[in-house]
Amino acid sequence: MGGQKYQDQVGFVFLFSVTKFFCQTFPQDESFKEG
C-alpha cells in the first residue's frame, strides 16, 4: 500500500536524522577506529 511505503520512508528519514544528530552531538571516532 502507498500509505505503508510512505510510513516506512518517514521512519527511515527519522532514524537517519536521529543517528546523524547523535553522531554530531556525541562524536564516536574512537569507537569507529576500534571497529
Interval 1-35: pLDDT, tens: 667 888 889 999 999 999 999 888 876 666 556 54
Q: Which residues of 4-29 are buried (b: 16+ CB within 10 A; e: fewer)?
A: eeeeeeeeeeeeeeeeeeeeeeeeee
| Per-residue confidence (pLDDT) for residue 28, from 0 to 100 | 65
Euclidean distance between the first and the last CA atom of the chain, given in angstroms as a whole number = 39
| Per-residue confidence (pLDDT) for residue 7, from 0 to 100 | 86
| Per-residue confidence (pLDDT) for residue 35, from 0 to 100 | 46
The residue type at 8: D
What global pTM score does this model have?
0.51
Place of cell 511505503: 5
